[in-house]
Amino acid sequence: MRRGIVWWKEKRSLKGGFILHNDIPDLPMNNGHQIPQLGLGVFQVDNAEDTKNAIKWALAAGYRHIDTAAYYGNEQWVGEAIRESDVPRDQIFVTSKLWNSVRGYDETQAAFQETLDKLGLDYLDLYLIHWPAPGYLDSWRAMEDLYKAGKIKNIGVSNFNQTQMADILAHGTVKPVVDQIETHPYFQQNDMHAYLESQGILHEAWSPLGGGNNNALTDSVINELAAAHDVSAAQIILRWHVQREEVVIPKSIHEARIQQNRDIFAFGLDEDEMKAISDLDTGKRVGPDPDDTAWLKKSQTYSGRK
């Protein structure tokens, strides 16, 4: 396996095979830190009750990675849920993101402090530039300084393509630890996956199950595999991501699904099953294209979901 990571082949059986386990692994990042491979996303969770319940259930199920963003409008509830939990802060990996309407060195530092204040935290585990909207290099420089000052433990980007990532690498002094990009069985990002691996940058998947007309949960191949393993379609897809060595952040506000999405480390997909899912790629996105400069500029007029 790449990077020497071992997920589900951890303990040898008496017959020389392997016993599967259900622990959530940590993946190493290029700065020597680690990130939990499975997290809970809270995009489009627009009220305090749902946000806090989802995080409470996730932490109780063993999740230790929560992904939010300034644009989501729920950072304050994420922070409240963390403070109200029984899990120590230093055991929870918290990610947030800088929205497209904020660019510039001073503006980025001020936006980061606003995020920190809403979360009620002293530091962030990971801070991302949400999209490669114009002006991202000045924002990256501000994030580098916040990282060097210890206010952010890790910095990265989201929705950057190869050209935009190369721009960051050419002009920055700190390499991004992750690129969080749309990835699911119908949009697998294989070229970007290989590029990120070549650069030592983790591939983090948002919309991991697809969505809209590209919802992979109803795919017949996925459901045949789910029946064969006696698991859900979502668990098959999330397991596929895990075996591709991606960080994955499924979103749910339902306790049973949050638990189910977490239980993806006690079974494995063989090579033929992985290929069957790989063959589903259609190259169709759910979300915007980072090459769409008109959308990127327009998005800078959006202040957020709230």
Check which CATH number belongs to the domain holding 172 and give it.
Answer: 3.20.20.100
Confidence (pLDDT) at 303: 79
Confidence (pLDDT) at 16: 35
Q: Does residue 99 contact residue 139 with C-beta atoms inside 8 Å?
A: no
User: Quick one: tokens of 46?
Assistant: 């627009």
Q: Say what the pTM is.
A: 0.92
Confidence (pLDDT) at 187: 97
Residue 305 banded pLDDT, cuts 50, 70, 90: low
Task: Give the whole-angstrom CA distance, residue 246 versus residue 148.
Answer: 26
Confidence (pLDDT) at 214: 83
Q: Does residue 296 contact residue 132 with C-beta atoms inside 8 Å?
A: yes
Task: Give the whole-angstrom CA distance, residue 236 versus residue 224.
Answer: 10
The total number of structural domains in the chain stands at 1
Task: Give the whole-angstrom CA distance, residue 180 versus residue 184.
Answer: 12
Segment 14-27 mean pLDDT: 61
121-159 pLDDT tens trace? 999 999 999 999 999 999 999 999 999 999 999 999 999
Half-sphere exposure of 169 (CA within 13 A, CB side): 16
304 in a structural domain: no
User: Quick one: tokens of 78?
Assistant: 């994420």
112 in a structural domain: yes
Confidence (pLDDT) at 68: 97
Confidence (pLDDT) at 21: 57
Q: Does residue 263 contact residue 22 with C-beta atoms inside 8 Å?
A: yes
Output the CA–CA distances (angstroms, integers) from residue 276 to 117, 185, 245, 250, 273, in the order listed: 46, 10, 17, 22, 5
**Residue 181, strand partner residues:** 205
36-76 pLDDT tens trace? 999 999 988 889 999 999 999 999 999 999 999 999 999 99
Whether 72 is a known active-site residue: answer: yes
2 in a structural domain: no
Strands 34-36, 26-28: pairing kind: antiparallel
pLDDT at 4 over 50: no
Confidence (pLDDT) at 146: 98
216-259 pLDDT tens trace? 999 999 999 999 999 999 999 999 999 999 999 999 999 999 99
Confidence (pLDDT) at 213: 77
Question: H or E stretch including 194?
Answer: helix 190-199
Residues present in the chain in total: 306
Strands 34-36, 40-41: pairing kind: unpaired
> What is the rounded average pLDDT for all residues in the chain?
92
Task: Give residue 95's domain range.
Answer: 10-299
3 in a structural domain: no
Q: What is the dihedral of CA 155, 157, 158, 160, to 10 degrees?
A: -170
pLDDT at 5 over 60: no
Confidence (pLDDT) at 46: 85
Q: How many H helices and E strands in the chain?
A: 11, 12
pLDDT at 78 over 70: yes
245-302 pLDDT tens trace? 999 999 999 999 999 999 999 999 999 999 999 999 999 999 999 999 999 999 999 8
Confidence (pLDDT) at 19: 42
Q: Which of 63, 72, 136, 186 is catalytic?
A: 72
Give burial (CB, 10 Å; 0-12/13-18/19+) of 107. Answer: middle
**At 32, is the secondary structure helix, strand, or coil?**
coil
190-226 pLDDT tens trace? 999 999 999 999 999 999 999 877 889 999 999 999 9
4 in a structural domain: no
Task: Give the whole-angstrom CA distance, residue 157 versus residue 180.
Answer: 6
Question: H or E stretch including 138?
Answer: helix 136-148
**At 89, is the secondary structure helix, strand, or coil?**
helix
Which tops the pLDDT comparison, 89 or 2?
Answer: 89
Question: H or E stretch including 167?
Answer: helix 162-171
Distance of CA 199 to the CA centre of its chain: 18
Which tops the pLDDT comparison, 257 or 8?
Answer: 257
Task: Give the whole-angstrom CA distance, residue 101 versus residue 142.
Answer: 15
* Closest alpha carbon to 238 in 274, 273, 270, 208: 208
34 in a structural domain: yes
